[in-house]
Amino acid sequence: MARKSGRREKANTISDGEAGFVISKDFERFNQINDIFTRAFWDSKIRTKDTDAFFEGHRKQFTVRKSAGFGQKDFALRNASWAVSDMFSNRSETEGKREGFQALMDNETLVAKDKISIEDVKEFTDELKTVAKLFGADLVGITLIDDRWHYSKRVDTRGFKPVSNDLPGSVSHVIVLGHSMNKQLVDTYPSALASAGTGLEYSREAAILTQLTSYIRSLGYDAVGSMNDTALAIPYAIKAGLGEYGRNQLVITPEFGPRVRFSKIFANIPLSIDLPIRYGITEYCTKCTKCSDACPPKALPYGKPTFDSGNQSTIRGVKKWSANCEKCFGYWAKIKTDCAICMRVCPFNRDFSKLRGKIFWKFATGRLQSLALWWEKRIGISNRVKPDVWWRTVRQ
């Protein structure tokens, strides 16, 4: 299960076929104004009291509920987990830039005048990956810029209007970072407690991006950090060989299954690129519908990947499994926190550092995939760990 990360040093492109992408003639770059989180501000079809309360609860004052997992401690832990990310995001909000979400991350480090000389690109790439891990990244993959995945417009948050989304300067490579989420927290989805697992990673992302871009800039090369802003992370993560796309709209990785968030750095620096890898996740997900079965608002698709996205908040002209974002976010607004039941119930939400996890991965991605599918069908949809149990455990 060790990462057999193929690498090509002078590749100019990686074909869509190699990445497993099927793109139609109707393809259009995604306009961030249609992102469901943005529509929740300007689109009367989406905006409700509940969506306003969802954002208010994250940024100012949350409202406690009686059910376990939605109490004061749960929301407090969620918002505290987000606090570092929030600090970065709030910095330039007066300029209409919510960094990491609707704008690139700012960086105070000047690009050094002297470029360090990179004699052995492969060696330098390995070194840079270790530095990324020193800063806390769990996965690192490198790919080339492909502007099809960049938003055609980004959003100015002062009036939620589309504005130009050009990258500053020229950029050659994308460094994709993976941030694994805490399994114990994820296993309590849906709850405000589980959402702490999301907040923790956004906060780590903001910090790691700041450090790694600062490092590259001090070496004399341009680099700028990005969380959910500017471009779609998923196609980049797949192209950089970090994992494969699943029915639950998540990238399934051999290290952490679907329990990973991605951030990215756009950099103008010579690096060796990684090759996409196919583990057989597409085949597994085609035969498994646990995430769709377990989704409370029935926002996840059945059947095979299609071109029909079904709603304006997903990209057009890419053959894939697409969620109904209106239904999905409608449920988030109802529970006032993010839901990732689809991550929790995914058969790949396992601890792959343990033997049982390793054995499952071996079967699920190998010739005996049908055995893994049979086993998973037999055990059914895994139970949510009760938030009370999580709190009781931490007290011991």
Q: Which string of b and e fits 187-221 if b means at least 16 CB within 10 Å? A: bbbbbbbbbbbbbbbbbbbbbbbbbbbbbbbebeb
Q: 143 forms bridges with which residues in the sheet?
A: 174
Q: Work out whether 41 is an interface residue with a copy of itself (CB under 8 A).
A: no
Enumerate residues 306-345 that contact a copy of itself by CB under 8 A.
none
Instruction: Report how far residue 354's alpha carbon sits from residue 167's, in angstroms, rounded to the nearest whole number.
Output: 42
Question: Shortest distance, CB of residue 65 to a copy of itself, whole angstroms?
Answer: 14
Complex with a copy of itself: residue 30 or 75, whichever CB lies closer: 75
Any idea what the Cα angle at residue 367 is, between residues 366 and 373, rounded to 5°? 80
Complex with a copy of itself: residue 162 or 220, whichever CB lies closer: 220
Q: Work out whether 212 is an interface residue with a copy of itself (CB under 8 A).
A: yes
Q: Work out whether 55 is an interface residue with a copy of itself (CB under 8 A).
A: no
Tokens of 166: 């050009």
Complex with a copy of itself: residue 126 or 283, whichever CB lies closer: 126
Complex with a copy of itself: residue 66 or 395, whichever CB lies closer: 395
Tokens of 164: 């130009």
Q: Which of 192, 179, 229, 177 is nearest to 32 (CA)?
A: 229
Question: Shortest distance, CB of residue 60 to a copy of itself, whole angstroms?
Answer: 8
State phi, psi for 379 to the nearest 5 degrees.
Answer: -80, -15
Q: Work out whether 118 is an interface residue with a copy of itself (CB under 8 A).
A: no
Query: Chain centroid to CA 301: how far?
Result: 19
Binding letters toward a copy of itself, positions 69-108, x by CB under 8 A:
---xx-xxx-xxx-xx-xxx-x-----------------x
Question: Please, are residues 282 and 245 in contact by the beta-carbon 8 Å criterion?
Answer: yes
Complex with a copy of itself: residue 148 or 173, whichever CB lies closer: 173
Question: Shortest distance, CB of residue 145 to a copy of itself, whole angstroms?
Answer: 23
Q: How far is CA 180 from CA 90, 199, 262, 333, 352, in A?
A: 24, 12, 9, 25, 12
Q: Work out whether 112 is an interface residue with a copy of itself (CB under 8 A).
A: yes
Contacting positions for a copy of itself (CB under 8 A): 60-62, 64, 72-73, 75-77, 79-81, 83-84, 86-88, 90, 108-110, 112, 114, 116, 123, 126-127, 130-131, 134-135, 182, 196, 200, 203, 207, 210-212, 214-215, 218-220, 391, 394-396
